[in-house]
């Protein structure tokens, strides 16, 4: 563990190339604060991200990172965790990445419950491709793909995660960095798949929903004494369509053990520390005789 | 007269347990010391459709099946109609004329009149025998195999052991009924036909030999190489490897994971490999379509990745349980841009074992994807081999940096431009090595960079790596007499059929051929292949596909065109007698 002295240890020399005022800055700050709060060292953390503005995040935080393919951070993260379960593994991407292209991986990761934290920058719009409506975009949203206004209802990712079997489902807001850092830290500490869906401001392609719009509507579940072990209530909250009151905080927290705990082959040491010289396969060949 | 080899067909419909007895029969012959080859022909169906198995049994080694068979064991009516023409003159048909089963999907089907006076027809009442011992129609397979054992004069004890083993999940009473039924059929054929027909093999060489499939050999090679992570989505003909890995996961301390799709299978393997373990994924052509984006990523971020691609006839779902060499061009070019990769094509189980083992070393050494290209014929056929030698196999994990080495480097650049193109790598978890990898173009640190010079330099670096792999010796092999006037050119699972067709041609027609087997498709053994083809008299290409994909590759790499092409694309492997005739016709 770190002595807590070097508060800049997760900073990088390179600076993000996001738009001025982008919600991604708040999420990056929240992530850094969470890692500091947990007293982690850079080499103990690895990130797998997809493609999009948000998925570039590993370049601007000092941890191991694989900035991979659109929609695919979760399979990569799963492989990483099973290869070396001593690592803190964080998957991250946008709503287009995770809730459109990679939706199957998302629900399956919730079901399988490998211990990883999945942070989604959810702004309802494809930003890096210059503004098309995403699957969490709101009805009526006018964008380059929906010039007459979107007619599709949005996904409810927190509800999908709960129904999929996730045992840690939270929602944060990119404009409340302290709260977001707490949620991310709790997600990392949770053993098993943990979703942190983040309401993210996109100043360029969804400016109608700026900081002020969200600040007037978000509230904290803990302030209303929500019991996160109550799954039915959590699901009802996650399905709530009232856009005038947006819940943030931990919706649901369960106790299902993570996938990797069912594997005796990981008990002694992480796979990556196994010795592979001189493996004997003669017994297997004998069995074929 | 004793023979040195017998060719047998065992057929019936899916659900009759034909595969169970055919495999068990093959294993019994192998244990008795015979050389065995088992080709499995079955449809993509669980109950009812026709399936059959070619079993070659030999005093010595055998590796390909013949169209002409010495005996046909028909466990249902359709099998008689479909295969009676394949029985060689002097051969035998064993079936139950009155009580022959008819598959539910063939309702009303009758056995056609048998117009062969040159074969012996053995009418063995399988269903009556089964009833006599108090059993049911389900026992037809055991009774039938009893008749085959009797015809060949094998010891009944061999069969009894085999049945006890393969029926071990059933009650003692049912096992006994199976044994009793099998004995009735065994006695009938042994007492009346064994010596008369003379389908008798010479004494086997009696060495301890495995009965092993290509899938078995791939799994063995991967386990020996220290695979720690195998992720896959089921797809014929590679599902067998997933089963083997899953069964052995706890004994060999690895994770075998059935993922939600092939994208995830490839992605998880990339993640595990990036995490520092040896990782592999396996599929067929259809799944490989989905994996191709991760193949490009592995090439771009320089992550070692071993991919098994067991081909089956395409496009689309094609023939799910049949064989074809149709994906060569696909695996060579499935990616965006210019992407490094290595592609190896084993021709038999020993090569599948060695090349899979080697694939992990190559992937680590060159930090790039390596594709092991098999097909259904190699994956799911069985051959006898002595246990593989493993002493000379050594693990090479390539250039890796630990904490200590990283401590001596001031400015670690994961994608440093080096002469060989290979940049020493480290893995997450190692202090002092934190780096980024990205599927976007990047600089030496792995950070996003669209700089034109850096882009060109990184592309050259990635492609330089495998260009340095010298396959002039290992990439192609010339079998047989180098001075033979005819050179057959092929690759992959046609190897044994080609080798045995050569032997047939030499023995029966005095035609002398050699065989150039291409083993590495990428990088390509250009100089070796050019040299052999230039020196050859007559050159004939033999491929199990419609267009001669290896022929095209050879032309692309060497500029030499092989115009004589023997191609087969019906979803079935060449019979060796068929292939010998096809070759002779061209000469």
Q: Cβ A271–B252 below 8 Å, yes or no?
A: no
pLDDT for residue A289 is more than 70: yes
Establish whether this prediction's ipTM goes over 0.95.
yes
* Positive or negative: CA dihedral B70, B74, B77, B82: negative
Please tell me the total count of domains within chain B. Answer: 4
Q: Which residue of B277, B357, B425 is the best one to mutate when testing the A interface, meaning the one whose CB has the most A CBs within 10 A?
A: B277
Q: Which of A44, A48, A75 sits opposite B264 (nearest CB)?
A: A75
Alpha-carbon distance A208 to nearest alpha carbon in chain B (angstroms): 31
pLDDT in tens, B324-377: 999 999 999 998 999 999 999 999 999 999 999 999 999 999 999 999 999 999
Chain A residues with CB-CB distance to B30 below 8 A = 289
Alpha-carbon distance A270 to nearest alpha carbon in chain B (angstroms): 10
The DSSP string of A15-58 is ---PPTT-HHHHHHHHHHHHHHHTT--GGGEEEEE-SSTGGGGG
pLDDT for residue A62 is more than 50: yes
Q: In angstroms, rounded to a whole number, what is the distance separating the alpha carbons of residues A87 and A65?
A: 12
Closest chain A residue to the Cα of B294, Cα to Cα: A69
pTM for this model (two decimals): 0.97
Closest chain A residue to the Cα of B387, Cα to Cα: A285
Alpha-carbon distance B218 to nearest alpha carbon in chain A (angstroms): 12
pLDDT for residue A3 is more than 50: no
Q: Which residue of B434, B444, B448 is the best one to mutate when testing the A interface, meaning the one whose CB has the most A CBs within 10 A?
A: B434
Q: Where residue B39 sits, what CATH number does that domain have?
A: 3.40.920.10
Dmax (CA) of chain B: 86
The DSSP string of B67-114 is SSEEEEEESBHHHHHHHGGGEEEEEEEEE-TTT-B--GGGTT--PPP-
- Could you say which DSSP state residue B193 is in? I
Classify residue B504: in a domain, yes or no. Answer: yes
- Residue that is last in its domain, among B325, B351, B385: B385
Q: Cβ B387–A285 below 8 Å, yes or no?
A: yes
Q: In angstroms, rounded to a whole number, what is the distance separating the alpha carbons of residues B106 and A231?
A: 53
Does residue B526 sit in the same domain as residue B457? no
- Predicted confidence band of residue A2 (pLDDT cuts 50, 70, 90): very low
Alpha-carbon distance A287 to nearest alpha carbon in chain B (angstroms): 8
Q: Cβ A79–B433 below 8 Å, yes or no?
A: no
pLDDT at B1: 53
- Could you say which DSSP state residue B563 is in? -
Does residue B177 sit in the same domain as residue B307? no
Q: Which of B209, B275, B430 sits opposite A79 (nearest CB)?
A: B275
Closest chain B residue to the Cα of A272, Cα to Cα: B277
Does residue B434 sit in the same domain as residue B487? no
- 3-state SS, residue B547: coil
Does residue B361 sit in the same domain as residue B413? no
pLDDT at A5: 64
Chain B residues with CB-CB distance to A79 below 8 A = 229, 231, 267-275, 279
Cβ proximity of A67 and B439 under 8 Å:
yes
Does residue B447 sit in the same domain as residue B561? no
Does residue B21 sit in the same domain as residue B114? yes
Closest chain A residue to the Cα of B445, Cα to Cα: A59
Mean pLDDT computed over A97-123: 98
Q: Cβ A75–B229 below 8 Å, yes or no?
A: no
C-alpha distances out from residue B201 to A246, B151, B276, B403, Å: 82, 11, 52, 63
Chain A residues with CB-CB distance to B364 below 8 A = none
Alpha-carbon distance A50 to nearest alpha carbon in chain B (angstroms): 9
- Residue that is last in its domain, among B428, B446, B469: B469
Q: Cβ B387–A271 below 8 Å, yes or no?
A: no
Q: Residue A182: which H helix or E strand, with range?
A: helix A177-189
Q: Which residue of B250, B267, B447 is the best one to mutate when testing the A interface, meaning the one whose CB has the most A CBs within 10 A?
A: B267
SS (H, E, C) B123-154: ECCHHHHHHHCCCCHHHHHHHHHHHHHHHHCC
Chain B residues with CB-CB distance to A40 below 8 A = none
Q: Which of B293, B395, B433 sits opposite A69 (nearest CB)?
A: B293
Q: Which of B271, B273, B428 sits opposite A75 (nearest CB)?
A: B271
Residue B87 CA neighbour count, 13 Å, CB half: 27
pLDDT at B208: 84
Which pair of structure tokens corresponds to residue A156? 């409810």
Q: Where residue B526 sits, what CATH number does that domain have?
A: 3.40.50.920
Least Cα distance to B102 among B130, B76, B122, B123 occurs for B76
Does residue B342 sit in the same domain as residue B193? no
Does residue B262 sit in the same domain as residue B143? no
Classify residue B150: in a domain, yes or no. Answer: yes
Chain A residues with CB-CB distance to B293 below 8 A = 69, 72
Chain B residues with CB-CB distance to A288 below 8 A = 210-212, 216
Chain A residues with CB-CB distance to B433 below 8 A = 43, 64
Classify residue B542: in a domain, yes or no. Answer: yes
Would you call the peptide bond into B237 cis, given omega within 30 degrees of 0 as the criterion?
A: yes
CATH class of the A23-287 domain in this structure? alpha beta
Chain B residues with CB-CB distance to A108 below 8 A = 259-260, 264
Own/partner contacts of B143-146, CB < 8 Å, gap of 24 or more, are: B143/B181, B143/B182, B143/B184, B143/B185, B144/B10, B144/B12, B144/B21, B144/B73, B144/B75, B144/B94, B144/B185, B145/B10, B145/B21, B145/B24, B145/B25, B145/B73, B145/B182, B146/B181, B146/B182, B146/B183, B146/B184, B146/B185, B146/B186
Which pair of structure tokens corresponds to residue B162? 């085999």
Q: Cβ B260–A46 below 8 Å, yes or no?
A: no
- Residue that is last in its domain, among B350, B385, B420: B385
Phi, psi for B408 (deg, rounded to 5): -90, -5
Q: Cβ A75–B429 below 8 Å, yes or no?
A: no
Q: Which of A58, A80, A282 sits opposite B272 (nearest CB)?
A: A80
Q: In angstroms, rounded to a whole number, what is the distance separating the alpha carbons of residues B369 and B335?
A: 11
Q: Cβ A279–B223 below 8 Å, yes or no?
A: yes
Alpha-carbon distance A127 to nearest alpha carbon in chain B (angstroms): 17
- The residues with which B7 forms a beta bridge, in sequence order, are B56
C-alpha distances out from residue A64 to A37, A60, B407, Å: 18, 11, 17
- 3-state SS, residue B357: helix
Alpha-carbon distance B282 to nearest alpha carbon in chain A (angstroms): 15
Regions of chain B short of the pLDDT cut 50: none
Chain B residues with CB-CB distance to A58 below 8 A = 436, 438
Q: Cβ B436–A72 below 8 Å, yes or no?
A: no
Q: In angstroms, rounded to a whole number, what is the distance separating the alpha carbons of residues B281 and A51?
A: 23
Does residue B154 sit in the same domain as residue B272? no
- Parent domain of B60: 2-201
The DSSP string of B332-348 is HH-SSSS---EEE---S
Q: In angstroms, rounded to a whole number, what is the distance separating the alpha carbons of residues B10 and A233?
A: 62
Does residue B286 sit in the same domain as residue B268? yes
Q: Which of B260, B277, B429 sits opposite A87 (nearest CB)?
A: B429
Which pair of structure tokens corresponds to residue A20? 């001025």
User: End-to-end alpha-carbon separation of chain A, Å?
Assistant: 53
Q: Cβ B212–A288 below 8 Å, yes or no?
A: yes
How many helices, marked H, and strands, marked E, lie in chain B? 20, 23
- 3-state SS, residue B242: helix
Which pair of structure tokens corresponds to residue A58? 């590993």
Classify residue B391: in a domain, yes or no. Answer: no
Does residue B459 sit in the same domain as residue B411? yes
Q: Where residue B291 sits, what CATH number does that domain have?
A: 3.40.50.970
Q: Cβ A277–B395 below 8 Å, yes or no?
A: yes
Which pair of structure tokens corresponds to residue B545? 């596909």
Phi, psi for B514 (deg, rounded to 5): -120, 175
Classify residue B117: in a domain, yes or no. Answer: yes
Q: Cβ B269–A82 below 8 Å, yes or no?
A: no
Chain B residues with CB-CB distance to A80 below 8 A = 271-272, 274-275, 428
Alpha-carbon distance B493 to nearest alpha carbon in chain A (angstroms): 21
Chain A residues with CB-CB distance to B294 below 8 A = 69, 72
Domain ranges of chain A: 23-287
What does the buried/exposed string (b/e) look like for B380-410 if buried means 16 or more CB atoms within 10 Å of the residue's CB? bbbbbbebbebeebebebeeebeeebbeeee
Classify residue B483: in a domain, yes or no. Answer: yes
How many helices, marked H, and strands, marked E, lie in chain A? 9, 10
Which pair of structure tokens corresponds to residue B87? 């029985």
pLDDT at A1: 43
How many Cβ atoms sit within 10 Å of the Cβ of residue B134?
Answer: 13
Q: Which of A48, A67, A79 sits opposite B229 (nearest CB)?
A: A79
Q: In angstroms, rounded to a whole number, what is the distance separating the alpha carbons of residues B198 and B102?
A: 30
| Burial of B539 per CB tally in 10 Å (0-12, 13-18, 19+) | buried
Plot region of B306 (φ>0 → left; ψ -120 to 50 → alpha; else → beta): beta
Does residue B312 sit in the same domain as residue B438? no
Chain A residues with CB-CB distance to B390 below 8 A = 281-282
How many Cβ atoms sit within 10 Å of the Cβ of residue A213?
Answer: 16
C-alpha distances out from residue A193 to A14, A166, A167, B301, Å: 30, 6, 7, 26
Q: Residue B487: which H helix or E strand, with range?
A: strand B486-491
pLDDT at B134: 86
Phi, psi for A133 (deg, rounded to 5): -70, 130
How many Cβ atoms sit within 10 Å of the Cβ of residue B366?
Answer: 25
Cβ proximity of A66 and A47 under 8 Å:
yes
Q: Cβ A75–B268 below 8 Å, yes or no?
A: yes
Which runs of consecutive H residues, i.e. helices, occur in B302-420? 328-333, 349-366, 376-380, 403-407
If you average pLDDT over every residue of chain A, what do you get?
96
Q: In angstroms, rounded to a whole number, what is the distance separating the alpha carbons of residues A193 and A254?
A: 11
Contacts of B91 (CB under 8 A, 6+ apart): B68, B69, B70, B71, B72, B119, B120, B199
State the residue for tokens 């060495």.
Answer: B207
pLDDT at B13: 95
Q: Cβ A72–B294 below 8 Å, yes or no?
A: yes
Q: Which of A42, A83, A268 sits opposite B272 (nearest CB)?
A: A83
């Amino acid at each position: 563990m770190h002595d807590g002295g070097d508060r800049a240890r997760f900073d990088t020399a390179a600076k993000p190339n996001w738009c001025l005022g982008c919600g991604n800055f708040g999420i990056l700050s929240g992530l850094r604060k969470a890692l500091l709060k947990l007293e982690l060292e850079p080499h103990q953390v690895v990130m797998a991200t997809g493609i999009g503005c948000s998925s570039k995040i590993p370049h601007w935080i000092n941890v191991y990172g694989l900035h991979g393919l659109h929609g695919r951070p979760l399979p990569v993260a799963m492989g990483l965790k099973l290869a070396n379960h001593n690592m803190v593994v964080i998957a991250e991407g946008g709503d287009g990445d995770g809730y459109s292209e990679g939706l199957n991986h998302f629900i399956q990761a919730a079901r399988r419950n490998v211990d990883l934290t999945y942070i989604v920058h959810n702004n309802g719009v494809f930003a890096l491709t210059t503004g098309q409506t995403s699957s969490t975009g709101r009805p009526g949203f006018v964008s380059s793909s929906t010039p007459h206004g979107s007619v599709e209802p949005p996904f409810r990712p927190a509800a999908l995660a709960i129904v999929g079997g996730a045992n840690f489902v939270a929602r944060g807001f990119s404009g409340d960095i302290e709260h977001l850092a707490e949620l991310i830290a709790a997600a990392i500490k949770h053993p098993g798949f943990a979703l942190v869906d983040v309401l993210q401001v996109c100043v360029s392609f969804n400016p109608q929903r700026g900081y002020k719009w969200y600040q007037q509507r978000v509230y904290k579940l803990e302030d209303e004494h929500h019991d996160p072990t109550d799954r039915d209530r959590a699901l009802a909250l996650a399905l709530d369509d009232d856009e005038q009151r947006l819940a943030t905080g931990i919706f649901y927290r369960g106790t299902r053990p993570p996938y990797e705990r069912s594997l005796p082959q990981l008990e002694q040491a992480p796979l990556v520390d196994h010795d592979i010289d001189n493996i004997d396969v003669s017994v297997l060949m004998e069995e074929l005789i | 007269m004793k023979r040195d080899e017998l060719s047998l067909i065992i057929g019936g419909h899916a659900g009759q347990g034909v595969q169970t007895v055919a495999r068990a029969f093959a294993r019994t012959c192998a244990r008795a010391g015979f050389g065995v080859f088992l080709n499995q022909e079955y449809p993509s169906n669980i109950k009812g459709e026709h399936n059959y198995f070619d079993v070659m049994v030999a005093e010595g080694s055998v590796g390909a099946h013949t169209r002409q068979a010495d005996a046909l064991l028909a466990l249902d009516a359709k099998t008689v109609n479909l295969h009676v023409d394949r029985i060689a003159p002097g051969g035998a048909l064993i079936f139950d004329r009155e009580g022959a089963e008819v598959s539910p999907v063939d309702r009303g089907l009758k056995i056609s009149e048998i117009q062969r006076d040159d074969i012996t027809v053995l009418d063995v009442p399988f269903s009556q025998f089964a009833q006599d011992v108090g059993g049911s129609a389900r026992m037809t397979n055991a009774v039938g195999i009893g008749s085959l054992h009797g015809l060949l004069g094998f010891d009944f004890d061999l069969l009894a052991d085999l049945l006890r083993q393969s029926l071990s999940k059933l009650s003692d009473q049912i096992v006994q009924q199976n044994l009793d039924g099998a004995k009735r059929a065994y006695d009938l054929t042994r007492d009346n036909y064994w010596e008369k027909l003379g389908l008798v093999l010479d004494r086997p060489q009696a060495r301890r030999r495995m009965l092993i499939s290509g899938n078995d050999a791939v799994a063995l090679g991967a386990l020996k190489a220290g695979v720690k992570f195998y992720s896959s989505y089921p797809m014929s003909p590679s599902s067998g490897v997933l089963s083997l890995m899953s069964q052995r996961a706890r004994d060999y301390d690895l994770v075998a994971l059935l993922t939600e799709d092939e994208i995830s299978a490839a992605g998880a393997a990339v993640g595990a490999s990036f995490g520092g373990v040896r990782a592999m994924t396996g599929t067929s052509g259809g799944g490989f379509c989905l994996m191709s984006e991760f193949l490009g990523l592995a090439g771009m971020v320089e992550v070692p990745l071993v991919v098994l691609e067991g081909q089956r006839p395409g496009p689309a779902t094609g023939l799910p349980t049949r064989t074809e060499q149709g994906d060569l061009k696909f695996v060579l070019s499935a990616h965006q841009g210019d992407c490094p990769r290595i592609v190896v094509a084993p021709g038999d189980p020993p090569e599948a074992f060695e090349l899979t083992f080697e694939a992990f070393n190559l992937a680590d050494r060159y930090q790039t994807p390596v594709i092991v290209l098999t097909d259904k014929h190699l994956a799911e056929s069985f051959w006898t081999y002595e246990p593989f030698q493993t002493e000379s196999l050594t693990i090479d994990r390539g250039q890796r940096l630990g904490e200590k080495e990283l401590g001596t480097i001031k400015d670690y650049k994961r994608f440093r431009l080096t002469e060989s193109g290979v940049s020493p790598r480290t893995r997450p978890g190692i202090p002092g090595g934190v780096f980024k990898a990205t599927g976007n173009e990047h600089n030496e640190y792995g950070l996003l960079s669209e700089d034109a010079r850096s882009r060109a330099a990184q592309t050259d670096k990635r492609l330089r790596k495998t260009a340095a792999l010298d396959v002039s010796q290992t990439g192609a092999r010339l079998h047989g007499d180098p001075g033979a006037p005819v050179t057959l050119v092929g690759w992959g699972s046609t190897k044994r059929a080609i080798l045995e067709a050569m032997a047939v041609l030499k023995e029966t027609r005095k035609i002398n051929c050699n065989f150039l087997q291409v083993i590495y498709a990428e990088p390509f053994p250009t100089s070796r292949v050019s040299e052999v083809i230039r020196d050859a008299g007559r050159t004939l290409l033999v491929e199990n596909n419609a267009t001669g994909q290896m022929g095209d590759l050879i032309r692309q790499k060497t500029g030499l065109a092989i115009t004589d092409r023997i191609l087969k694309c019906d979803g079935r492997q060449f019979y060796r007698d068929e292939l010998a005739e096809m070759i002779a016709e061209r000469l």
